Amino acid sequence: GQALASSQASASGVLVRGVRETDLRRIPSIANNIKLGALDGFDKASGVVIGKRLAEQLYLRPGDNITLTAPRGPQTPFGTAPRIKSYPIAAVYEIGMSEFDSTFVYMPLAESQSYFNRSDDVSAIEIFLVNPDRIDETKLAIQKSTERPIFLTDWRQRNKTFFGVLEVERNVMFLILTLIVLVAALNIVSGLIMLVKDKSADIAILRTMGATRSSILRVFLITGASIGIVGTLAGFGLGLIVAMNIETIRAFLSAVTKTNLFPAEFYFLSHLPADVDAREVITVVGMALLLSLIATLYPAWRAARLDPVEALRYE
């Protein structure tokens, strides 16, 4: 349920979730990311587990009390009074997503039922999957196993707009990278054309000495391919280093420029994540090598068809 979390220093809106200790320990994103305190005795201690950003906003640590105010409390002659109760903080977690670390408060299930005036029922059941790609299959199995209509929602539906924006951004970035590779390929073309022009006399001498058109073509193909291979491998290595150290680079640039790059309040992330997808890396590297090889064809063909007589006429 929704509540207002407050301390002597500040206040913030939160979502309270009732959960048993055994179930909380089975949530890897929480159990494996406890930064302060511990989950031992969570059910019996009647404490709560909060996120790191919420703890920082309210200036709280494990052992301090957090006050939760729910809008729906006991009925009085004057109407519904808010329910206010303080709980000790048992632990502080940090998932790495600002939306979770600043919003969700985990409370023992029995205590949350008492706090929100629920007897033995719950408002929702949350299911975590090992493989998130099996959502549709799992939802279908749940619907078939129940005898009454139920409302099912998943992370794709709750974040449909956000994932739509990410998909558009992903396509735009792919287009930008493609244009960058095309510009690099054009640079190879122009560079080799200039090389052919500068070396026209040398090419003509080689032709008069018996070099065939195919050998001249092969020389410039190897030259252009070498430029493409070296550039692609250098870009691959530099990109891999940047991707694996992106958060360190972000922190360094933030310190140098004295600005907060990618603030968590807007991007919902406490750090800048990076995932190296081997398939995408191979695709980009392969495309770059292919385009660089294609870019060498015209300059190499132009060098091979050079007429020695015309090239040496004004030498």
Amino acid 268: pLDDT: 65
Identify which of 35, 18, 10 has the alpha carbon closest to the alpha carbon of residue 270: 35
Amino acid 314: pLDDT: 58
Whether the predicted pLDDT of 5 surpasses 80: yes
Amino acid 93: pLDDT: 92
Residues near 243 by beta carbon (within 8 Å), at least 6 away in sequence = 274, 276
Instruction: Read off the pLDDT of residues 162-194 as tens digits, 9 standing for 90 and up.
Output: 788 878 988 898 888 888 878 888 888 888 888
Amino acid 27: pLDDT: 84
Instruction: Read off the pLDDT of residues 217-235 as tens digits, 9 standing for 90 and up.
Output: 888 888 888 888 898 899 8
Whether the predicted pLDDT of 313 surpasses 80: no
Instruction: Read off the pLDDT of residues 233-268 as tens digits, 9 standing for 90 and up.
Output: 998 999 899 988 888 888 888 888 888 777 766 666
Q: Among 17-31, 75-89, 93-107, 158-172, name the one with the lowest average pLDDT.
A: 75-89
Instruction: Read off the pLDDT of residues 122-150 as tens digits, 9 standing for 90 and up.
Output: 777 888 888 877 888 888 888 888 777 78
User: Which tokens in the block code for residue 80?
Assistant: 């519904």
Whether the predicted pLDDT of 308 surpasses 80: no
Amino acid 91: pLDDT: 92
Amino acid 311: pLDDT: 62
Q: Where are the domains of the chain?
A: 2-126, 127-158, 160-312
Instruction: Read off the pLDDT of residues 264-295 as tens digits, 9 standing for 90 and up.
Output: 666 666 677 788 888 888 988 888 888 888 88
3-state helix, strand, coil in the chain (%, to 5): 55, 15, 30
Instruction: Read off the pLDDT of residues 47-69 as tens digits, 9 standing for 90 and up.
Output: 899 999 899 999 999 989 999 98
Q: How far apart are CA 133 and CA 56, in angstroms?
A: 34
**76 CB-contact burial (10 Å; exposed 0-12 / middle 13-18 / buried 19+):** exposed
Which of left, alpha, beta for 210 (phi over 0: left; psi -120 to 50: alpha)? Answer: left
- Indicate the angle between helix axes 160-198 and 278-295, nearest 10 degrees: 30
**121 CB-contact burial (10 Å; exposed 0-12 / middle 13-18 / buried 19+):** exposed
* Alpha carbon of residue 5 to chain centroid: 29
